[in-house]
Chains A and B, each alone.
Chain A
Amino acid sequence: MSLHCMRISARSNFVRAGISALGLSVGLALGAGAASAQEVIVGLVTKTEVNPFFVKMRQAAEARAKEKGLKLIARAGKFDGDNEGQVAAIEDLISAGAKGILVTPNNSSGMLDIIKKAREAGVLVIALDTATDPADAVDATFATDNFEAGVQQGTYARKAMGDKKAVVAMLDGTPGGTVDTFRHDGYLKGFGIAEGDPSIAGAAITNGAQDKGQVGMENLLSKNGDINAVYTINEPAAAGAYAALKSFGKESDVMLTSIDGGCAGVRDVKDGKIAATVMQFPHKMASMGVDAVADYAASGKKPSGFVNTGSFLITDKPVDGLESKDTAWGLENCWGD
């Protein structure tokens, strides 16, 4: 008998201690952040927390919201492809009484139902960075034209290579992702070749990560040592590709290009590791989004359609007939530091 009693009391005391410790920590956190009922709330739901692109987006949204006197609640999925997490985030934001929600959808069709519910509840919904399918599922989209960005990357690579016969490697992001497909297809168009062209030596999946970019590039080089043009989905993948090219002693013979405009990527262009990158503007997407919500809260006016937040080719070796900025400009305007 005594044993059981001991167990029960030990247990409940421990539970009580645990609860009060948790209560304390949560209470402290809540005290700092409790919302007042009058504030206009703007929600931001990014794909993940950790990608510097989304970190920049969040910082810019926070700064702009503060300027405009709005309260920003930022949420994110846990990983690329966490549709459930993003849907739950939007549900929570509707419950919180958000006036507008800015979302970078994980995939173009996963969010449609919850976006519809949000709009029916009178919430302004703007897609940032990635368009939905159909695009008019949201009120408006503020994003890089990723196909156009891909075209710029491909066009530069082709022009910069002159008449050299190209052997192309594709370092893709996550297969099937909307942004990835646009950039991939854009590159091929800009390069002037079609999917399945014999000059494409192979493709690898990088998930936009440096380590996987390196492994993918190593394998593709083992398969075909003649590769002399490399498409990369983003700058981390390009950094991985560069490391592989270097270990094969091929870093100076290969046209390595990318997209993103992160500060690390621009520095890689400056150092000659990457020939050119296409800069996009996450802070512009975010602050334009917050402005739109502020407008909507004040006047009921909603934006509509696709708003291209622009992209610029960054390189120190410009080619004729293609507009570009140098890395000095790039370092002033990059994101992620």
Chain B
Amino acid sequence: MTTVIASATDAPRSWKARILGAPSAGPFLVLIAFCVIFAFTNPRFLATHNLSIILQQTVIIGVLAIGQTLVILTAGIDLAVGAICVLGTIVAGKLVNLGYDPVLSMSFAILICTISGLAAGGLVSGLRLPPFIVTLGILGILTAALRLISEGGAFAVRDPFLSWTGNTMKLSGFVITYGVVIMFALYAVVWYFLNETKWGRHVYAIGNNPEAARLVGIPVRRHLMSVYVLAGLIYGIGAWLALGRIPNADPNAMQTANLDSITAVVIGGTSLFGGRGGLIGTLIGALIVGVLRNGLTLAGIDPLWQDLVTGILVIIAVALDQMSRRRR
């Protein structure tokens, strides 16, 4: 995005203008502002242990928001994020508890999640149904399915491989979980595909104007399909990360994951109307939500402030998007 803007201007822009013009600059400043405020109110906020905790708390929504970003970039929306992820935890947990090999069980669970994405993509691109409706339907189907599979109840999942992502490692004095590393790795890999490959440029093109994308020869349907399949795969990996954080499969879990992931994407500056934004913003958006919650708790303040401030941020982010659209 930056390069496009830069090449369109007559004179080379200063570094300041470049940074401020980057899509994720606003969210980044918000994140820094909150960190500064919380560092002043409680010295424990900046303790390495606490910063590591915030990263760990961001892992699940952070990863689910990668898939959500991809879908939103195509001007879609995914309401089945949480249900697909919970499905992954229940399938993997159930299989392992039945005595199947843990690696196979987790792989099978991720496969099932990918197939859920395939189903969503197929309905969106094949039957041209609105993504909102398709994923709403899948949300209902999966919620019922996983209550049937788990017979309504939550159960403990005790397996070293399934909970491996929750194990800790030291990174120059900073204790983090493997889940955190996997989250950053996923961001890096998907960022590369989105920003450095033809596939990624086509995602943006379809989000901007699907009809124009079709006319310049982009296989729009196949492309949409690939986005939903990739998102499903990422939700499956999210299930593994969720089991690492909480070794427990609960059909009632993650009811707010859909809205939480959309919140991270929107606060991160990605346009709900598709075609604009990106993953760095989403990561920052997810971190803002995590920092807010943690910081307010450390200061002993009612957590409802978190929802209030998050709500304001969402509206500001969408307002910014609208304003910049009108001015273009």
**Is the Cβ of A82 less than 8 Å from the Cβ of B297?**
no
Q: Which residues of B185-229 have CB atoms within 8 Å of chain A's CB atoms?
A: none
CB-nearest residue of chain A to B312: A22
- Asked if B172 CB lies within 8 Å of chain A CBs, one says no
Task: With A84-B253, A95-B53 as known contacts, state yes or no: A22 contacts B309, CB within 8 Å.
Answer: yes
- Asked if A26 CB lies within 8 Å of chain B CBs, one says yes
Task: With A19-B33, A23-B37, A84-B246 as known contacts, state yes or no: A35 contacts B42, CB within 8 Å.
Answer: yes
Report how far A28 CA is from B199 CA in the complex, Å: 47
- Asked if A89 CB lies within 8 Å of chain B CBs, one says yes
A121 to chain B: closest CB distance in Å?
Answer: 10
CB-nearest residue of chain B to A26: B37
- Count chain A residues whose beta carbon lies closer than 8 angstroms to a beta carbon of B: 62
Q: Which residues of B24-61 have CB atoms within 8 Å of chain A's CB atoms?
A: 25-26, 29-30, 33-34, 37, 41-44, 47, 49-50, 53, 56-57, 60
Q: Which of A6, A8, A91 contacts B17, CB < 8 Å?
A: A8
Report how far A277 CA is from B271 CA in the complex, Å: 52
**Is the Cβ of B50 less than 8 Å from the Cβ of A95?**
yes
A95 contacts which chain B residues (CB < 8 A)?
Answer: 44, 47, 49-50, 53, 294, 297-298
Q: Which of A25, A34, A76, A81 contacts B299, CB < 8 Å?
A: A34
**Is the Cβ of A23 less than 8 Å from the Cβ of B33?**
yes
Report how far A37 CA is from B300 CA in the complex, Å: 12
A78-94 near B? 1/0 per residue, CB < 8 Å: 11111110011101111
A235-259 near B? 1/0 per residue, CB < 8 Å: 0000000000000000000000000
Report how far A112 CA is from B166 CA in the complex, Å: 13
Q: Which of B50, B250, B253, B323 contacts A14, CB < 8 Å?
A: B323
Report how far A64 CA is from B320 CA in the complex, Å: 46
**Is the Cβ of A80 less than 8 Å from the Cβ of B17?**
no
Report how far A107 CA is from B250 CA in the complex, Å: 8
B250 contacts which chain A residues (CB < 8 A)?
Answer: 81, 83, 106-107, 110
**Is the Cβ of A7 less than 8 Å from the Cβ of B328?**
yes
B293-321 near A? 1/0 per residue, CB < 8 Å: 11011111111110011001100100110
B256 contacts which chain A residues (CB < 8 A)?
Answer: 78-79, 82
- Asked if B324 CB lies within 8 Å of chain A CBs, one says yes
Q: Which residues of A1-20 have CB atoms within 8 Å of chain B's CB atoms?
A: 1, 3-8, 10-12, 14-15, 18-19
Report how far A176 CA is from B155 CA in the complex, Å: 9
- Asked if A71 CB lies within 8 Å of chain B CBs, one says yes
A4 contacts which chain B residues (CB < 8 A)?
Answer: 5, 8-9, 21
Report how far A33 CA is from B305 CA in the complex, Å: 12
- Asked if B104 CB lies within 8 Å of chain A CBs, one says no
**Is the Cβ of A97 less than 8 Å from the Cβ of B154?**
no
B224 to chain A: closest CB distance in Å?
Answer: 29
A107 contacts which chain B residues (CB < 8 A)?
Answer: 154, 248, 250
A19 contacts which chain B residues (CB < 8 A)?
Answer: 29-30, 33
CB-nearest residue of chain B to A89: B297
Report how far A92 CA is from B247 CA in the complex, Å: 19
- Asked if B327 CB lies within 8 Å of chain A CBs, one says yes
Beyond A37-B43, A49-B303, 4 additional contacts (C-beta under 8 Å) are: A25-B309, A79-B252, A83-B248, A113-B166
Selected A-B contacts with CB under 8 Å, 30 pairs: A4-B8, A4-B9, A7-B328, A10-B323, A11-B323, A12-B26, A14-B319, A15-B26, A15-B316, A15-B320, A22-B313, A23-B33, A34-B41, A37-B43, A75-B297, A78-B255, A79-B255, A80-B252, A82-B255, A83-B246, A92-B53, A93-B297, A94-B53, A95-B47, A95-B50, A96-B300, A107-B248, A109-B156, A110-B248, A177-B153
Q: Which 7 A-B pairs have the closest CB atoms?
A: A176-B153, A81-B252, A175-B152, A92-B297, A109-B156, A15-B26, A110-B248
